[in-house]
Amino acid sequence: MSVYNGERFLREAIESILAQTLSDLELVVIDDGSTDSTPQLLAGYAATDSRIAVHRQPNQGLAVAINNGVRLARAPLIARLDADDVALPDRLRLQCDFLAGHEVVALVGGAVTFVDDRGRSFAEWRYPQTDAEIRKAFQYTTPFVHSAVVLRKRAFELVGGYRPLFRSVLDLDLWFRIAEQYELANLPDCVVRYRIHGGQMTVQELERGALENVAARTAARARMDGRPDPLDAVDRLDYKTLIGMGATADEITSSLVHRATWLAKTTGRAGYANLAEELFALAGDRARSDSGSQELVAHAHRERARRYAEQRRRLRATLETAKAMLADRRSRTRKCSDKLRATT
């Protein structure tokens, strides 16, 4: 676990690991230069449970922090958990048992329940389970939740771990490189409660994520074609660098539009209506740009319409429930009144 100023949800994340049914574990937490109460919270936990190892470093970003955590970890299996998510009690047991029975698999994820900032669930998502299904899904999505994977440490080290070039989509780049050497899998079971909250992503981070998504895919294609990995020759990721690697403006815009619409739908379901509208507007604007397309415009409109239809269905369901409750209350009131009159 890497954490930076994560005091709000950190306790819940740590408690979910300490409560695992598989108790023979080590929780390595990298405090990436937090300035809030995170260091004090971590010190308190480390003082009361010998399974917790806390290491503090100057802020260097998620990739460096997790690489340091894996290097310090003593176990042959590495589980990831973000400091604002919650592992379900059987998560580690289920995933470790699976890897024990499938030696060719180096990484296993699972289904997730999406929750809002108050921990209320609003959606559940299952991902392709077999190696073949996952490889097919890689063509258009990321078929793993970063916070829900367990992987073999030897596989992580073989491919070089996370690349510090990536700040937002560091997981996809790693999955591609592991997939070139090993098989992958997902469990049908829910293993994590994945939190969606308002401060999770800015527009700038969304745009950075779109660039990194295309960069990871461009590099994977190059390796698959037997060409050198273009990321080995660059020291920064920006628009100009990505175009120089052979990516196109159309790819970058498509990535941004799809990421923005997905996040808009998800944050909308979590109750952040204003943020959802901003993201839908961003997706529409980029879809209509010079590097956009009619197909992207249609996608943005379609996803927005689906979100509105979903809102209407939920509103109707809420109204029907309210009507049923009111009718039941009236019925009970009438019965009480009838009983009182009969008694009188």
**Confidence band for 310, pLDDT divided at 50, 70 and 90:** confident
User: Does residue 240 fall inside a structural domain?
Assistant: yes
Q: Are 222 and 229 in contact (CB under 8 A)?
A: yes
Verify that 154 and 221 share a domain, yes or no: no
Q: Across residues 44-68, what is the average pLDDT? A: 96
Q: Is residue 343 part of a domain?
A: no
Domain residue limits at 76: 2-195
Higher per-residue pLDDT: 327 or 234? 234
**68 and 165: one domain?**
yes
For residue 77, what is the domain's CATH number? 3.90.550.10
Considering only the C-alpha atoms of the chain, give the largest distance between any 2 of them, rounded to a whole number of Å. 94
pLDDT of residue 199: 65
Q: Angle at the Cα of 150 (from 149 to 151), degrees rounded to 5?
A: 115
pLDDT 10s digits, 228-258: 999 999 999 999 999 999 999 999 999 999 9
The CA distance from 32 to 58, in Å, is 6
Q: What does the block give as tokens for 62?
A: 């998620």
Same-domain pairing of 10 and 118:
yes
- Helical (H) or strand (E) element with 234: none
Does one domain contain both 90 and 139? yes
Average pLDDT over residues 144-156: 97
Q: Is residue 338 part of a domain?
A: no
Residue 270 lies in a domain: yes
Check if the beta carbon of residue 18 is closer than 8 Å to that of residue 48: no
Band of pLDDT at residue 107, cut at 50, 70 and 90: very high
The mean pLDDT value of the chain amounts to 92
